[in-house]
Amino acid sequence: MQLFQDIIIWLSQEPTVWITAIYLILINVLAFMTMWWDKRRARNDGWRVSEVTLLVMGFIGGAVGLIIGMFKFRHKTRKKPFQAITIIGLVISLFIYWVEFRAILWHLYFI
């Protein structure tokens, strides 16, 4: 219980944590919604989102939302190169999440 209270106190003092958490949530929601939009446009023969845009979203922290959207909407699931690059983006995103988590713990115990 004390750890939970320490985390709440620390979060109130460290706006960087909130900014990073909000960024990670927003980029994943944006990636998910972009997959939905691209699938919708593909069905209606409309203007499409480029694969590069989708992959960049994955590389800057939105790979979880991208993968969830890919399988939820069954979009780009047959393109093996796209899937492979998305997995690389997932590894990079997980590294970003890990670095942020380590920074939170380091600040919590050493500052």
pLDDT in tens, 23-68: 889 999 999 999 999 999 988 988 889 989 999 998 888 989 999 9
Residue 1 belongs to some domain of the structure: no
pLDDT of residue 37: 93
pLDDT over 70 (residue 87)? yes
Residue 26 belongs to some domain of the structure: yes
**Residue 97: CB partners within 8 Å, gap ≥ 6?**
24, 61
Provide the 8-state DSSP code for 62. I
Alpha-carbon separation of residue 58 from 16, 25, 72 (angstroms):
22, 13, 16
Residue 4 belongs to some domain of the structure: no
Task: Please count the structural domains in the chain.
Answer: 1
Q: Is the entire prediction scored with pTM above 0.85?
A: no
